[in-house]
Structures are given as structure tokens and as C-alpha cells.
Structure 1
Amino acid sequence: MDDGRKADGARIAVFDVGKTNIKLSAMTFDGVLAESLSVRNEVRPGPPWRHHDLKGISDWLFGSLASLCRHHPVEKVVTTGHGSAGVLVNADPDDTSALPMIDYEQDPPPAILDGYAPLSGDFLDRGSTIMLKAAHQARQLYWMQQAEPERVAQARWYLGLPQYWAWRLSAVPSAETTVLSAQSHLWNNVRKEWTPIVEGQGWSRLMPPLHPAWKTLGPIRPDLARRYGIPEKLSVLTGGHDSSLNLYRYQAAGMPDACVISTGTWIVGMCAATPLDALDENRAMVLNSDVTGRPVGGVLTMGGREFSHVAGHGQEGEAADAALVSLFTERGTFALPSFGDDDGLFPGSAGRGRFEGPSAETPAKRKALAVLYAALLTVECIDALNESGLVALDGTFLRDPLYATLVAALRPTAQTVYNLDSYGTASGAALLVEHETRHAPAPIELSLPAAYAGDREALAAYALRWRELAKQNNFYRARPAKGTIDD
């Protein structure tokens, strides 16, 4: 690590665009939070489709960045965000966009679904099954092209979400492997080439040069700096995919093959050691990338939404009671997937979630059952990734101590650790600054879960029965991917 830079208190600003919230944080170069600002990520109605308010985000970002620089010695800025967004832009970085940025949680027209599916390539091209609603940058660009062919023909670049904001800040267009590999359907990370749909649809001219996440693209645009009072010396990094940068935090800490399970709206599992032939697109498994371009096995399931369906309301601030979990394992009370519209790891299960056995009739019981259900889904993700070694847990599920305890108890022959930081993505993004100069592992705080006080044999038998029940009713089978013409 460059001790001189660390000693002078230099900071990096991390701009993190989530689906619901947006954060701008001042971080140390070794990934420690100094200050964070946030705002809601508003969605506007169409026409031509529901879209995010890029103009409003721009005003907030540039003004907040100026404020952050007044309070902290910020020298660099890096952008990160989710992978289900791309922005079509013209040549002028002062233009918000050539077309509004599509909200991925809306349903595309049936003609878009039917027309796109046969163009999407094989699993290595997609990196996933064809997912719900308007996911995938390639499908969004296809929708734009079908709806507004002249606007697409006049546009200059199609940029992943983090690189869009890096371009707005620096005027330098770029593409980056973790964002492209986050199921954009534009980049085959195994073959290291653009997917067939790019050339087939005439999009090659829209694809910007590839740069690594840690590369300095250039200084902030002088006119932008002067307009908002941002220091002109500020340099802009390429940036990357949020979950991949959270994984990078562990890799930078000396865990290159870490299996990381991040929890929130989604349970996101990522493991560089997962064999590619173990990836099953029909079980929510995906192919991602780390910041170096190495393929990374992954799994996605909407665990946060499932948790909410089971827990209901009334116990948000209360910790789950371990004694109630023991009661469930004794009585055989089960929550079984899937309650939402996502199959997750159980193909065909969407909307068929159910409870079995004696009911969990109080809010406290529902909360405990939800934590147990979340732990079982997590272990299912870990097993799908073929991981029998060290697993690191992080994210919102860890607000309840029983969650990590149950995951560890369900993996009795392997080690489970957890991290309680609520800013893992920002920390990983900040660590990019010293990617090429780091000589020792970056610091990270990992803890061991508390021991499970209940009957471990009963818990193991319960988990086995839960998996059997989850596979019943003939819905645990391969099905055509959602959004294909076979639906």
C-alpha cells in the first residue's frame, strides 16, 4: 500500500447507483467510510417507457460531489451500479441521453420478448437464462431500436450504467468487463468478445473501448468542474458492477477464490472457484466476471422479497428467537419456495410458495420462520456454487444475528464468516485506487457466527426435508427460459 497517500488523508468519492437508492460516499483509499450522502432513485412514467430521472440524478450528483469535496480531500471519483441498465447517448456528455434509460422492472411488449429471444445467443453469450421483465442491456437496446430506430441510428455510444456516469464526469467513453458480464448479453466473457447480437444488429459502432475498472479515464471535465465548483484536479476511474466490486473487497483482502453471499432484495452468490460446467441457467445460476476479467460463477434469487412474504409486518426491529426455530424443526413448520414471481433455484416455483405443517401464527413466529427460510435459501445458493470451503456473508440479512448462526449450522463441516459493513460495494470500489500498487492484503473485518444452541441433528433433518418438499409437485425441472417464444 502507498503509505504516503494514505497518510495525507486523501479520499475517493464513490458514486453508487442502486435500483432504489443512490449514494455518494467519501472513502479512504483502504475502503473505510468517511461520509455518505443518499437520495431516492426516482422512476418516471412513459412514454416511451418507464425510465429513471437522469437529469435529476445529474443535478444531485454534481452538486453533492462539490459539497463532498469541500469537506474532504477528494482526489478521485469512481462509479458503480447494478448491471441491468444501459444508457444510449449522443456525442455530447452534457446531453442526458439519446433515449430515456429503461426501468428494468417493467414488462416489455410481447413483440420485444418474442423478437429478442432467438437473437440472444447461447449461455456463454447471455451468462444467464433470459430473465424477468426488462432485464439485460442487449434486450433494452433491442427495444429502443425497434421503437425508435432513427434515434438509435443517430446515437454515438451505448454505455453500462457505471460507465455512463464516468462518461458524464470525464467525457471519456468506456466499457468494462464486470458490468458487461452482469448479464448484459452483450459480452461473452469466456471467449472475450462481443456477442453475436452486437454485430448482427449493427451495434458494433455503439460499443466503446474496453478499460479495466481501476483505470483512470482522465480528469473531470473542466467546464463541469467550473460550473459546479468541483476541483479540476479530480480524476475519474472506469468503475464497475456493484456485486463484483463487493467481491473485489474480499479478493483485495487476500481471498482470491472467495465465495461471497451478499443479501438484500436479492441473494447474490459469487464464487470464482465454481466450475463453469456446474452453472445451470435453469436454477438461477449466472456467469459473472471479477475486475481482472476472470469468469466468476454466480447465483441470483430474490431472497429479500421472499423474506418479506414470509415475515409479513410487525417484527421489523425485533431479532428472531432461536427457540422458535427449534420449535419449527420439531413440529415441521415449513415455508417453501417461491412466493414472488421469480423461480430462483426452483424452476417453475414462481407464485407457488406455500406453508406446510403447524402454522406460524404470530408475528414473532413469522419472523423466525423467515430467517430460517432465508438461511435455507442461502445454503441452497452455496451448494449450487459447488462451494464446500470458506463462505463470507454480508448484507442486510445480517441485521438479525440468527441468520449467520443458522447458515453456519447448516454447513457444519465448512467455515462460515460474516462482515457487518453496510458499505461493501463502496469499499470495494475505493480499493480499486491501489489495485496496481497494493503490496499487502487490504483490511477487512470478518467475524465467526455464534454457535447454534438448538439440536443440530434436528436442524439437518429439517433442512433435508425442506429440500425434498421444495422439489415436489413436479416443478423442480428444467423449463424454457422466461421471455422466450416457448412461454
Structure 2
Amino acid sequence: MGDGQKADGARIAVFDVGKTNIKLTAMTLDGVLVESLSVHNEVRPGPPWRQHDLKGISDWLFGSLASLCRHHPLEKVVGTGHGSAGVLVNADPDETSALPMIDYEQDLPPAIRDGYAPLSGDFFDRGSAIMLKAAHQARQLYWMQQVDPERVAQARWYLGLPQYWAWRLSGVPSAETTILSAQSHLWNNVRKQWSPIVAGQGWQRLMPPFHPAWETLGPIRHDLARRHDIPEKLSVLTGGHDSSLNLYRYQAAGMRDACVISTGTWIVGMCAATPLDHLDENRGMVLNSDVTGGPVGGVLTMGGREFSHVAGQGQEETAADAALVSLLIERGTFALPSFGDDDGLFPGSAGRGRFEGPPAETPAERKALAVLYAALLTTECIDALNEDGLVALDGTFLRDPLYATFVAALRPNAETVYNLDSYGTASGAALLGEHETRDTPAPIALSRPPAFAGDRNALAAYAQRWRELAKRNNLQQGNTSKRDNR
């Protein structure tokens, strides 16, 4: 919808803070995009650590929200964001933070890495293994406490990223289950209690009261509204974790037990039906939460970066050639994990990725191999989640039509669908606006992948061989993890 046009019907603004980009989107209450604004999420060098520019984001958000309110009948605003971010704040919501927000890709000082590990509890306390660099809200707060204990002692709240922005807008502090269950290491979602590190470090006073993601915390702060010409009737919702709200989009559509695989920098698999005793932290598996607090099995692997390593540069807009994929399968050309810094589903594989068999020499062959590799990683995620039922694919990998086709062909006895929307998180967040009043399934556009035209037996044999080679590759290198905390 063009600037200056009015739309009929209520709208909700979704503020989505990603690691690289930030978006503010006007959405219908049934999750359809109306208008979107975006800006780069700048990271500054510090000291005392690389940090996000909260002041710059604030100025952009408040100005952009005022602009969207002039052009659309916005009634509510809700935030969402990645899970690896916590913000320590004082009591005044006009202050940006008590200490700068840490960039989760910041390297850790060895003393912080080594000091934190024995405090972090068991798997259900953490919801994951201890991950790379400065991930995890608890570890970031621990780092802050070691660097500047006085400011931590004087601070009032420690907030997850969506709740930080809800607090800036409404003045109401909140904790929320999806963001705390996104590997914050602060919340045990199985026992429904704070992880031991919270009491052990004396952080209880920093933990705000819980509110569900869909709850209205209050109207926008009057002084903030007047200062930036934002309507004072605008309601502020609690908000939640980006991947969990993308899952909520499918759950709101009636697909409660669907396994959702979202692709981008990370392949993120989430499935509420995965038994908790199947979660293996050594294979990139995690424990998340849905918006109601129900446990959700998950798996994480840096598929987007793996894809880029295999495809090489300059192939982003080029579709893979099905005939070349068939040729690679026939001659036994393999890409074996993992090329990046993350083990993913193959313990000990970080940085040990390699190619085997006749090389993929041309750019087109590399792209074909990358799409095949992405499909194999995806099916490995699905298998880890113990899912043999309905799987829904979404995200950037679907830009290549063959990706969904190969995933479906690799699981011939189960149903695979896909969604081409590029704004799934925003849709899920928008649907929170009618969570308590929705009485029919929310709309969602799903398609079935085109049929695989090649030799299914050859593909199945190739996949089995790939799995054997991937596991052998890691064992030959020694089955020890290269995560920076071990």
C-alpha cells in the first residue's frame, strides 16, 4: 500500500528486531502485510564490548511508528526479536539502558567463558548446550556483573529484547515465556521456575513479573506519545521470540503439532510433538516454548552460512538446475558438514566441512550441490525432531524451487508443505492481537512441492551415503566439540 493511503479495518504494528535488520510493519489482525519500513541494525565497537545502538533504534522506532500511525488505523503495537539478547535497565523507561546491549556474536573473554560454564545448570535449566560467542541472556548478565558490578547492583530490570521495547513504549516491565525459553539460560520451562543461576547470582530482583505474549501491558506512555505525535490510544502488547511467533502462525491456523522448519542464516526446526527425552544438546537440539508456555522441541544449525560456503559467491539469484543435481547424485559428489563455526547436528564437525567425490567445478554445479546439501541438512533436522508427520517449510531457502521438492522427496511417506510468505514472524506477531477472541483458524497459504522428477531410489541411496560420510568425517577427526566453551 502506498504512502498516504488509508486502509479500512484495524491494524497492528509489528516491531521486529533481527540481528542484521530491523522492521516496523503495519499488519492486518489476520496477519497480512500492509506496509513495511526497515533499517540496518548497527553494531558499534564498544568498549566494553560490541554493542547495539539502542539510542539510534529508539529514534527510528518512535519516528517510524508516528509515520505509520498517520497512514494506517493502528490500534496496537507488538515487538518480536531474536532470543540472544537481554537489556539491563534502570527504572526510567526514557533511559536506553543501564549498560550497553551486548552483540551476541561478540567473542567472550576466557575468564567469562570459563567462569560461566559451571554456573549454568543442567540441560533443562539452559534449554540448550552452551553456544558460541556471547549467546545467552544469562551469560551476558554474568559478563556485565563481572565488568561493572556497581551498575548491575543499581539496575532495576533485566529484559528480553521484545519486552525491552514493550517497556520503552508502555513503561510496564515484563518477562515472557517464549523469549526466556529461547536459550536465555534463565528459565527452566519444564519445571516452570527460574534456573538456579538466578538465585545463585542474586538476580531475582532483576526478573520482572510474567505476562503472556498477547497481553496488553497498557497504552503507550503519554509523554512519549505527545513527544513523537503518536496516538495515545495505541495499546502495547508483551511480544515474544521471533521463531516462536512464526510457529504460532501455524498453530493459530489449526496446525498444533506441525513441525515447522524456518530457513535463513539458521535452519530452525520447532515441533511441539517432539518427546523431551529425544532432545540431544550435542546435536544442536534445544527446548523452546510456545506462546502458552508449552514445551517445544527444537533444533538449530547455521544452514544459511553452510549454504553460502558450498554455493560460493554470486549465486543468490540463480535457480538450481535439476539436471545438474541428478548428475551430482549419479557421480557421487558430496558436501559434508560443517563448513562454519557451528557443529549443528554433527558433533565435532565445526570447521571440518569438506567435499568428496568428483568436484562441483562450475558455479551452476556449486549452486546445485548447495541446494541438495540444504535439503539433506533439513531432513536431518526433521529426523532429529522425531517427526514423521506434517512438515511445513518456510524462509529464504524456498527462493529456490528445488529445495522443497528435494525435502519432500527425501521423506516420501510423509506430508511436506511450504509457505512462500517472507514475513512469517510478523504474521505470527500480528495474530497475537486477536489471540483471546479468535474463534476460527487464522488463514495461511500453503502449497505442496512439485513432484521430484528424478530417480527416487538413487536419491535415497545418495542421502544414506551422505549421512554415513558425514558421521565418518566427524569420527575421523575425533569426536570432540570445537564449541568455544569446551
State whether structure 2 residue 440 is matched by structure 1 residue 470.
Answer: no
Residue in structure 1 matched with residue 383 of structure 2 by the alignment: 383
- Give the Cα separation in 2 of the matches to 1:100 and 1:418: 39
Task: Note closer, same or farther for the CA distance 1:297–1:478 as it changes in structure 2 (3 Å cut).
Answer: farther
- Give the Cα separation in 2 of the matches to 1:372 and 1:245: 28
- Give the Cα separation in 2 of the matches to 1:478 and 1:96: 44
Q: CA contact under 8 A between 2:349 and 2:481: conserved in structure 1?
A: no
State whether structure 2 residue 307 is matched by structure 1 residue 307.
Answer: yes
Residue 112 of structure 1 deviates from its aligned partner by 0.3
Paired amino acid for 1:93: P
State whether structure 2 residue 483 is matched by structure 1 residue 482.
Answer: yes
Paired amino acid for 2:418: Y
Number of residues of Structure 1 aligned to a counterpart in Structure 2: 479
Residue 139 of structure 1 deviates from its aligned partner by 0.1
Deviation string 1:172-218 (CA, Å, 9 cap, x unpaired) is 00000000000000000000000000000000000000000000000
Residue in structure 2 matched with residue 3 of structure 1 by the alignment: none
Residue in structure 2 matched with residue 397 of structure 1 by the alignment: 397
Q: CA contact under 8 A between 1:349 and 1:475: conserved in structure 2?
A: no
TM-score by length of 1: 0.97
Residue 314 of structure 1 deviates from its aligned partner by 2.6
Residue 481 of structure 1 deviates from its aligned partner by 8.2
Residue in structure 2 matched with residue 58 of structure 1 by the alignment: 58
Residue 407 of structure 1 deviates from its aligned partner by 0.2
- Please show how residues 172-183 of structure 1 align to structure 2 within 5 Å: 172-183=172-183
Task: Note closer, same or farther for the CA distance 1:112–1:87 as it changes in structure 2 (3 Å cut).
Answer: same
Paired amino acid for 1:117: A
List structure 1 segments (4+ residues) > 4 angstroms apart after TM superposition.
Answer: 475-481
Paired amino acid for 2:72: H
Deviation string 1:421-451 (CA, Å, 9 cap, x unpaired) is 0000000000001111111100000000000
Residue in structure 2 matched with residue 27 of structure 1 by the alignment: 27
Residue in structure 2 matched with residue 37 of structure 1 by the alignment: 37
Residue in structure 1 matched with residue 243 of structure 2 by the alignment: 243
Paired amino acid for 2:159: L
- Give the Cα separation in 1 of the matches to 2:227 and 2:111: 44
Task: Note closer, same or farther for the CA distance 1:381–1:202 as it changes in structure 2 (3 Å cut).
Answer: same
Cα RMSD over matched residues?
A: 1.1
Residue 483 of structure 1 deviates from its aligned partner by 4.2
Q: CA contact under 8 A between 2:347 and 2:481: conserved in structure 1?
A: no
- Give the Cα separation in 2 of the matches to 1:344 and 1:457: 27
Q: Unaligned regions of 5+ residues in structure 2, if any?
A: 1-6
Residue in structure 1 matched with residue 261 of structure 2 by the alignment: 261
Q: CA contact under 8 A between 2:348 and 2:482: conserved in structure 1?
A: no
Deviation string 1:388-416 (CA, Å, 9 cap, x unpaired) is 00000000000000000000000000000
Residue 29 of structure 1 deviates from its aligned partner by 0.3
Residue in structure 1 matched with residue 354 of structure 2 by the alignment: 354
TM-score by length of 2: 0.97
Residue in structure 1 matched with residue 231 of structure 2 by the alignment: 231
- Please show how residues 414-425 of structure 1 align to structure 2 within 5 Å: 414-425=414-425
- Please show how residues 420-459 of structure 1 align to structure 2 within 5 Å: 420-459=420-459
Residue 316 of structure 1 deviates from its aligned partner by 1.8
Residue 315 of structure 1 deviates from its aligned partner by 2.1
Q: Percent of aligned positions with the same letter in both sequences?
A: 87
Q: Unaligned regions of 5+ residues in structure 1, if any?
A: 1-6
Q: CA contact under 8 A between 1:114 and 1:483: conserved in structure 2?
A: no
Paired amino acid for 1:121: G
Deviation string 1:110-154 (CA, Å, 9 cap, x unpaired) is 000000000000000000000000000000000000000000000
- Give the Cα separation in 2 of the matches to 1:57 and 1:306: 30
Q: CA contact under 8 A between 1:346 and 1:476: conserved in structure 2?
A: no
Residue in structure 2 matched with residue 98 of structure 1 by the alignment: 98
- Give the Cα separation in 2 of the matches to 1:409 and 1:34: 35
Q: CA contact under 8 A between 1:282 and 1:479: conserved in structure 2?
A: no
